[in-house]
Amino acid sequence: MSWGRLPTEPKVEGEVLPERRVVKQGRRFEGLNCLVTGAGRGFGQLIALALAREGGNVVVHYNTSADSALKTAKEIEGLGVKAYTVKADITRWDEVKQAVDKVWREFGPIDVLVNNVGDTAPGQMSWREITEERIDRVLAVDIKGTLFMTHEVGSRMLERKKGAIVNICSNVISTGSPRAPQYAASKYGVLGLTKSYAHAFAPWVRVNAAAPGYMETESLLSRPDWTPERRKWVVEHTPLRRIGRPEDVVPVVLFLASDDSIHMTGNVVVCDGGFSMPGA
């Protein structure tokens, strides 16, 4: 793989000049090893396949969806790249350590990590239904899980002085969530982790976040409170006048994972059709 130095002169003492990979048209991840959590189905699967289409070898992480993970891995291999599956409950640090050690040993070093797994408290329709169990579950998956994966993979990236991490956040960092306050709290936590590790791993490893809004996923469509009336209200209050699809957000994730965002770290890119457009 050839690399090209960015033309920046003069260089200040101690300054780090990034190197941009020279890649084929449309193959930004050629030869790179990528790990996507929760890649057996849904949004994670779409991200994994998109990385593979651009030349990335992909580790498909799963916890309970073994069959879906194997199916995704076969689809990835069908695109002419390598695939690997690994199981871990990301809320348990020991399992994350074991999984990452196994990936490094059997598959190879990871260049791109996408922390896709998150818990949206799907069974909770109102803040009045909040329980300590639901709070603990959401915070464990979103905050502890993202922290453990970022810490274990990112520290190894740092040793190699290369890598990119993308966390999946949410526009609730702007809007809040009256349905599930613990979900909003968890995504604020993901944003805090993004900025903290962006500092910790600089200048060698970039850490950014994508923050989708409503996406018409199977999970959203199956919720009892996602009524035609509510959908109509959301569309009317979204400047782009439509509900996002997972396919609309995947390109943002790939942008943050690639050298296209080479001068970005600690950033969050909100992609919700303007629903949470800031006032200033």
The residues that are catalytic are 183
Give residue for tokens 């979900």. 183
Q: Give residue 276's identity as a one-letter amino acid code.
A: S
Is 193 exposed, middle or buried (CB count within 10 Å of its CB: 0-12, 13-18, 19+)?
Answer: buried
Taking CA atoms, 164 is separated from 31, 245, 262, in Å, by 14, 24, 9
Q: Are 157 and 163 in contact (CB under 8 A)?
A: yes
Q: Are 63 and 40 in contact (CB under 8 A)?
A: no
The full DSSP string for 35-80 is EETTTTSHHHHHHHHHHHHTT-EEEEEESS-HHHHHHHHHHHHTTT
Q: Write the Ramachandran bin of 152: left for phi over 0, alpha for psi from -120 to 50, otherwise beta.
A: alpha
| Start-to-end Cα distance in the chain | 43
Tokens found for residue 116? 């896709």
User: 43 in helix, strand or coil?
Assistant: helix
